[in-house]
Structure formats: C-alpha cells, structure tokens
C-alpha cells in the first residue's frame, strides 16, 4: 500500500516547505554510489573516523546466544511480550525563540521500526496511531532490520501501520545504519520527503521551522553531514539524525532540538532501565530519553522495534509525540 500524503504544508494560510536537500539528479546519484561503496566496506565511518566492526560482530553473536538461552530458561516469552507492548509517549519542550505560529506544533517521532524482525508490531502500533492528530511525522532511520532481507519485508508493514496516520504537513525521513541506499527511494514512493544531508523549510506566513536531516552518521558519516548542519537556512532549527553522535556539532551550530534513535534505549537493560550496550561511540549522554547539549534539547527514542532478537527486557519500545511550545528562558 502506498502512502500518498504529500509533504506540502496544509491549506491553512501556510506556504509549502522549500528544500535545500540534494536534488534527484547528479548530487543524489553521487551520494547513492558513495553510500553503496561504504556499505561494502569491512569498516564503519563515524564523525571520529574509521571504526572497526568487531564490536558489532561480537554483540551480534552475544545476542544470538542470549536469545537461545532465554528460550531454554523460559525468558523468551516475556521478552517477546515486552517487545510487543510499545508506549505512545507525550513530551512537551518549551523554547523562548520558537516562532509563535508553531506554538503547539505536534511532531510524531518514530525510529528503529525494524518491522521485518517483528511484523506483528505494525498491527499493535497502527491501532495506537489511528486518528492521532499531529502536524508532522518524522522517521529517524532504521526502517530495515535484517541486512539480507528484501526491503518489502520492512516497508510493507510500515505502510500498513501508517495507513490511519494523516499528518497535516506530511512525512519526513532520514536513513539509519541498517538502511541501504535503496531505502531512500522506497520511502519516497510511500510519500516521505527524504532528507539526505539537507534541509527543508516549513513556513507559516513569515515564520519558519527549519528541519535538517542527515544520512546515518554511525556507519556512513561523510563531511556532507557537518556541512548540512552548517549550511541550513537561518531560523528555528531542528536536527533529524539517526544517532545522537552528532549532537555536539548540532549544538555548536545553534540547533534548538535534536531528534534521534539508534540505541533502542538499550533493548536489553538492567533493572531500572540501565542500558548494557548503547552502540554510541560519541555523545553517550544521548543514550535515551531527554538530554541537553549546550543550549540544545535532545530526545532519543527507545525505538519502536527490536534488533537482533525480538525481545526486550526492562526497556519499553515507544512512539513519541513531541509538542513544541513557546516559553521559557533563552539559553
């Protein structure tokens, strides 16, 4: 099923967004070729340089062993029930410099859906999202789960899940470290405006909300990510990034809000929700929930889906409605 809700702004005296994202011509083709080349490399690249993949491989083996042991000792069933019980959470963030026209603006933040791993989640989440009134839906990466699975296994349940969701300003997405380059075009076919190291502008009369989206920076960082943060139009800026690992750079560029995912909140956590592993190599303060970097507010979703094994312990999956409010002190 295709989602055809456009990204244009709603018919309420609001102009459609303009975009500084790469066009679908040569720039996009250059990005896609480079991205595919990086996907084939035996190493990852982050803002701190090349990264060995041994940590990820050790973790993947550990998860497989843990899942097998959990099944043997009777912990798999409760872990699966936990994974199938996400929350719809509400967060309100106040900013003194928020343009008045965007006071009360509601953003549905989804991340790490991974519905090819646990497709039943689409039914559960879809029922929670039906008839939800929001202005914008943002998807901060990792739609896909299993690297070798066809993309339709993750995209088809996502389309079904979002069938009843009608954001007034449409859908915006960025890619995660599990998403191949081809995912951008697939999501665009569903109605998403994909931000790949670029920005889009939502306008309400003379007032603007700037949304800057980066390609994944955990595995596929390039200097274009930093350039996109720096070159975004002036105004109230929101960064959409798969990982918190660019938080300090975004804060230095004057962004007001940073939305991300990637960590799953730990997925397998100690009592009290303390993550055992977050997969963050930088900005580890952004492992989950609300945080700050300088003057910038950040929010890391625990993610809707699961990775590695369809289990969660002491960590609930989520979909977050972020409401922007005008108020509070600057800085």
Cα–Cα distance, 148 to 163 (Å, whole number): 26
How does residue 24 score in pLDDT terms, banded at 50, 70 and 90?
low
What pLDDT does 22 receive? Answer: 53
> What digits encode the pLDDT tens for the residues 206-222?
999 999 999 999 999 99
The beta strands (E) that lie in 47-118 are given as: 49-52, 87-95, 105-110
Mean residue pLDDT of the chain comes to 88
Residue 5 scores a pLDDT above 90 = no
Q: For residue 48, count other CB atoms closer than 10 A to its CB.
A: 10
How does residue 53 score in pLDDT terms, banded at 50, 70 and 90?
confident
Domains and CATH numbers, the chain: 19-326 (3.60.21)
Residue 62 scores a pLDDT above 80 = no
Residues facing residue 319 across a β-bridge: 88
- Highest mean pLDDT of the ranges 76-80, 202-206, 254-258: 254-258
Distances (CA, A) of 293 to 160, 245, 249, 327: 36, 11, 9, 19
User: 0.85 exceeded by the pTM?
Assistant: yes
Burial call 188-212: b when 16+ CB within 10 Å, e when fewer: eebbbbbbbbbbbbbbbeeebbbbb
What pLDDT does 64 receive? Answer: 77
Residues facing residue 43 across a β-bridge: 52
What pLDDT does 263 receive? Answer: 94
Residue 161 scores a pLDDT above 60 = yes
Stronger pLDDT, 270 or 225, i.e. the higher one: 225
What pLDDT does 275 receive? Answer: 84
What pLDDT does 10 receive? Answer: 33
Query: 61, 100 in Cβ contact below 8 A?
Result: no
Cα–Cα distance, 228 to 50 (Å, whole number): 21
What pLDDT does 148 receive? Answer: 84
């Amino acid at each position: 099923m295709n989602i055809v809700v456009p990204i244009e702004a709603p018919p309420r005296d609001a102009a459609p967004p303009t975009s500084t994202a790469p066009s679908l011509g040569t720039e996009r083709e250059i990005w896609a070729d480079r991205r595919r080349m990086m996907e084939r490399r035996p190493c990852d690249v982050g803002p701190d340089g090349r990264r060995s993949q041994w940590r990820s491989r050790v973790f993947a083996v550990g998860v497989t062993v843990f899942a097998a042991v959990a099944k043997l000792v009777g912990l798999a069933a409760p872990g699966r029930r936990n994974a199938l019980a996400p929350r719809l959470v509400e967060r309100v963030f106040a900013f003194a410099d928020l343009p008045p026209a965007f006071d009360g603006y509601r953003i549905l933040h989804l991340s790490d859906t991974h519905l090819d791993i646990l497709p039943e989640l689409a039914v559960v989440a879809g029922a929670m999202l039906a008839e939800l009134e929001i202005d914008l839906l943002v998807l901060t990466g990792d739609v896909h789960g299993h690297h070798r699975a066809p993309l339709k296994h993750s995209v088809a349940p996502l389309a079904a899940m979002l069938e009843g969701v009608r954001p007034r300003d449409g859908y915006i997405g960025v890619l995660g470290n599990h998403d191949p380059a081809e995912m951008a075009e697939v999501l665009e076919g569903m109605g998403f405006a994909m931000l790949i190291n670029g920005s889009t502008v939502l306008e309400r009369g003379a007032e603007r909300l700037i949304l800057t989206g980066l390609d994944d920076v955990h595995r596929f960082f390039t200097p274009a990510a930093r350039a996109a943060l720096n070159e975004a139009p002036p105004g109230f800026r929101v960064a959409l990034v798969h990982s918190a690992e660019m938080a300090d750079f975004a804060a230095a560029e004057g962004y007001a809000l940073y939305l991300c995912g990637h960590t799953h909140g730990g997925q397998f956590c100690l009592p009290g929700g303390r993550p055992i592993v977050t997969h963050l190599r930088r900005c580890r303060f952004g492992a989950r929930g609300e945080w700050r970097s300088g003057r910038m507010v950040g929010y890391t979703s625990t993610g809707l889906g699961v990775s590695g094994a369809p289990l969660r312990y002491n960590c609930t999956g989520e979909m977050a409605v972020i409401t922007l409010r005008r108020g509070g002190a600057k800085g």
